[in-house]
Amino acid sequence: MKKYNVEVIRISYCTKTFEVSAENEQDARNQAFDMATDTDYSGSEYDCEYEVNTPQEIPNDYIDKYGNPYDSEDDKACWPAGGGLHKDCEFNADALYAYYTIGDRYKIADYLRSKGFKETLHGADEEVWVKGNTEVTYECYDNGGHLWGYMHTELV
């Protein structure tokens, strides 16, 4: 995903720049067209050009379980499912070990407590644990399989 700045130029020679995230220039133009229309900056009384400026790469701060860039669109690079691991979190290894090796929510809770994590949210379908700069979220628990469906970490 790249971030584009798109200038909408009206025939009256005034411009407005919209910042959009898009896969390509045409997608950026289409988004800017919609935004210009929504802000009453475009319409039948105006003849507009959509000039796309140089794109900026959006940094990816998330990694998969192997340390490669996390990509939710790639089946091979989106594990653990749920958003990946923030690369600057200090306790990703504990979160991964609990998710892949321990599995059961009650055993995971015991493990994380023994490692100094504090539970900040306990729900039927979600738990959030925090230690240092790491927030670990486990989601969609399968009672039959005794496994969490998703796990990701965020930088605190």
pLDDT of 8-20, one tens digit each?
A: 765 554 667 888 8
Give the number of domains in the chain: 2
Is residue 67 located within the same domain as residue 144?
yes
* Per-residue DSSP letter, 27: H
Is residue 11 located within the same domain as residue 70?
no
Domain coverage including residue 121: 62-155
Is residue 100 located within the same domain as residue 148?
yes
What per-residue confidence (pLDDT) applies to 29?
85
For the chain, the first-to-last Cα distance in angstroms comes to 24
pLDDT of 57-104, one tens digit each?
A: 778 899 989 888 888 888 777 888 888 999 999 999 999 999 999 989
What per-residue confidence (pLDDT) applies to 41?
55
Is residue 52 located within the same domain as residue 81?
no
pLDDT of 96-149, one tens digit each?
A: 999 999 989 999 999 999 999 999 998 888 999 999 999 999 999 988 888 899
* Per-residue DSSP letter, 24: S
H-state helical runs in the chain: 25-38, 92-97, 105-114
Q: What is the mean pLDDT of residues 27-40?
A: 78
Is residue 41 located within the same domain as residue 67?
no
Is residue 140 located within the same domain as residue 79?
yes
Is residue 84 located within the same domain as residue 124?
yes
Is residue 93 located within the same domain as residue 148?
yes
Q: What is the pTM of this model?
A: 0.65
Contact 63, 85 (CB under 8 A): yes
Is residue 85 located within the same domain as residue 142?
yes
Is residue 139 located within the same domain as residue 86?
yes
Is residue 73 located within the same domain as residue 19?
no
Is residue 51 located within the same domain as residue 99?
no
Amino acid at position 35, single letter? M
How far does Cα 46 stand from its chain's mean position?
Answer: 37
Of the candidates 94, 73, 7, the one whose C-alpha atom is nearest the C-alpha of residue 42 is 7
